[in-house]
Amino acid sequence: MQQHLEQAISEMLKTPTAVVGASRTDAGVHSVGQTAIFKTDCTIPCFGLRQGLNRLLPDAITLRSVEEVSSDFHPRFDARGKHYCYTVLNRDTPSPLQRRNTWYLSKPLDVDAMSEAAQALCGEHDFSSFRASGCGAKTPHRRIHKISVTRVGELVKIEVWGNAFLRNMVRIIAGTIVDVGRGRISAQQMAEILEAKDRRAARQTAPAQGLCLLEVFYNSNVSQWF
C-alpha cells in the first residue's frame, strides 16, 4: 500500500513524497482503518486531494478522508490503540467470493469455548507465546483491553482491541483460539500457553487473508473505543 500511495501522491504533487503509516501489515492482511501522513506545501484543499488521489490509486486502495494535522503528529507514536478483526468462514462449503478475506473451515467451531479461552488474554501480559520470530519490538509486554468471539451467521469473528501488537500477534492468537473451537486444545489451556512465554506453546499462525485492521485509536480514553 505504501508504495502505491507514495507513487500517487508524488504524481499528483509533481514532487517525490514519502508516507509514514500507523502500522505495517503482513502481505495479504486487509485494512479499512489505516492512518498515514505526508508533508506538503501544496494549496490543494483536502477534498481535492482525496478525489484526485483516489483517481490515481489502484482499485484495491481508497482514501476515505484527508485531513490537515499538526506538524508534530505521528500516526504510529501517537496511536493509543488498535482494533483488529479476524474472520473465519465456518460452513460445509467454501465461498469463492469470500476466499480473499476469510479463513475457510468446514467443521463447526465451538464459539462458546473460543470466547472462554480468549478472556485469558485480556489485561497486560508478556505475549512472547504469540510473537513471531524476527519481531523487532523492544518488549513483549502488551495490553489487550477487550477480545470477543462471536458468530454472525456463517462467519465467526475474533475481535481484539489493544494498545499495541507484536509481529503476527493477532494471527497467532486467532490460530490458537480456533484450535480451541476445533477441540484440539481446551479453553483452560490458553492461560498455560500465555504463561509459557514461548512461541512453541501456542498454535498455528492463522492465514493472513482473514485479518483486517479496523481502526487506529488516538483518543487516550479507552472507554470510548467500544
- Positions marked catalytic: 26
Cα separation, 162 vs 147, in Å, equals 9
Q: Among 39, 25, 45, 41, which residue's Cα sits nearest to residue 73? A: 39
Nine-digit cell at 74? 505521528
With a CB cutoff of 8 Å and minimum separation 6, the contacts of 223 are none
